[in-house]
Amino acid sequence: MDAKIVDGWPQGNAIRILLTNTDSAQVNAVRRALIADVPKLAIHKVNFTQGVNQDSKGEVLESVNVLPDEIIAHRLAMIPIPTIPEEGIHFSDQCPNCIDLAEEHKGCPSCQVLYSLNIQGPKADAEEEYKTVYAGDLTTISDQMFDIRDEHKRIPLTILSKGQFLELYAFATLGRGRDHAKWATAAAIGFRPQQIAKLNKPKKASILFDLDLKTSDGKQIDAKLFGKDKTVTDVNHVMDLEAALHQVGPGTNRDGDFDDAITFEEVENAYVFTFETDGSLTPEQAFNSAMDELKARFENLASDIERAFA
Ligand SMILES: [Zn+2]
């Protein structure tokens, strides 16, 4: 299998990769590895402070909240935690420092990332009625490289009214999507055979060209796009054309005149693979990690078979 990132990608956390010299079973194995096997960090344990506090001015604050603790813990779990594969964070059950410890003593800088949050509702004399608590309010106690990324700081967690406070410690650990969705690295993972577009009837295709549509990178959709050999091979342009063809497809009342003026042909053993990460990992890191997971699994399988027949 050969992998090549399609020109112009990744865009944000989304990516298109052209996989060639492969088949659908192999590509699907990569898809499944991305869903279930690629490790990433997510908040797995939260300690809430409960009780009544009095501040220096005598204002009484209570640890009550509109949302139950379980819901807040769940919302914390879904925040993308920056995961840096080369930092070598261990799974908590495989951590060399903690492996022999009792369950309640497990957890060290090598296997967990620690955050704290301490927010109070608006002051008694404040104008606003409530205050929103955001993911960005989490303070990293571990290394700063694990700070919640700017693009995720505005994820709302809950609101606090006057006289309320929220104080907690959150522990992020490494996990896999197969155990819980909070550890799922990527979403919207799909693949399709690579196609090339063919211009069969240039005259009839003018019904589409006259619509003045553009490709996602701003090129005019016209006969020029197809060039001398009357084909489009560029992966992005083919997908743009596919979308554009809905304008002349069934139900548009243009399909009769268009008369399949442009058709698509599948390229053998080639697939366009698309997905988007939640931002914990870059798409490249997630893809490479999926490959490593698959490689490790097949190496184990090979040695298991050897042992079985020994
Ligand atoms: Zn540890």
Please tell me the distance between residue 101's alpha carbon and the centre of ligand 1 in angstroms.
9
- Summarised one tens digit per residue, pLDDT across range 243-275 is 999 999 999 999 899 999 999 999 999 999 999
Please tell me the distance between residue 99's alpha carbon and the centre of ligand 1 in angstroms.
7
Between 310 and 35, the more confident residue is 35
Please tell me the distance between residue 282's alpha carbon and the centre of ligand 1 in angstroms.
25
Please tell me the distance between residue 285's alpha carbon and the centre of ligand 1 in angstroms.
23
Please tell me the distance between residue 227's alpha carbon and the centre of ligand 1 in angstroms.
59
Please tell me the distance between residue 108's alpha carbon and the centre of ligand 1 in angstroms.
4
- The count of other CB atoms within 10 Å of the CB of residue 274 is 19
Is the peptide bond prior to 109 cis by the omega test (within 30 degrees of 0)? no
For the residues 13-25, what does the mean pLDDT come to?
Answer: 96
Between 238 and 85, the more confident residue is 238
Please tell me the distance between residue 103's alpha carbon and the centre of ligand 1 in angstroms.
11
- Summarised one tens digit per residue, pLDDT across range 292-306 is 999 998 888 888 888
For the residues 27-49, what does the mean pLDDT come to?
Answer: 95
Sign of the CA dihedral 287, 175, 147, 63? positive
Strands (E), the chain: 2-5, 14-20, 40-48, 52-54, 60-62, 113-120, 130-134, 139-140, 156-161, 165-175, 186-199, 231-232, 262-277
Please tell me the distance between residue 92's alpha carbon and the centre of ligand 1 in angstroms.
6
Q: How many CA atoms lie within 13 A of 44 on its CB side?
A: 19
pLDDT band with cut points at 50, 70 and 90 for residue 129: very high
Please tell me the distance between residue 109's alpha carbon and the centre of ligand 1 in angstroms.
6
Is pLDDT of 34 > 80? yes
Please tell me the distance between residue 49's alpha carbon and the centre of ligand 1 in angstroms.
24
The domain 40-183 having CATH identifier 2.170.120.12: the answer here is yes
Please tell me the distance between residue 79's alpha carbon and the centre of ligand 1 in angstroms.
22
Long-range contacts of 25-32 (CB under 8 A, 24+ apart): 26/1, 27/1, 27/191, 27/271, 27/273, 28/191, 29/294, 30/273, 30/287, 30/290, 30/291, 30/294, 31/189, 31/190, 31/191, 31/273, 31/275
Please tell me the distance between residue 225's alpha carbon and the centre of ligand 1 in angstroms.
57
> What is the predicted pLDDT for the residue at 11?
95
Q: Where in the chain is the domain with CATH 2.170.120.12?
A: 40-183
Please tell me the distance between residue 105's alpha carbon and the centre of ligand 1 in angstroms.
9
> What is the predicted pLDDT for the residue at 290?
95
- Summarised one tens digit per residue, pLDDT across range 43-84 is 999 999 988 988 777 888 888 888 999 999 999 999 999 999
The whole-angstrom separation of Cα 120 and Cα 137 is: 11
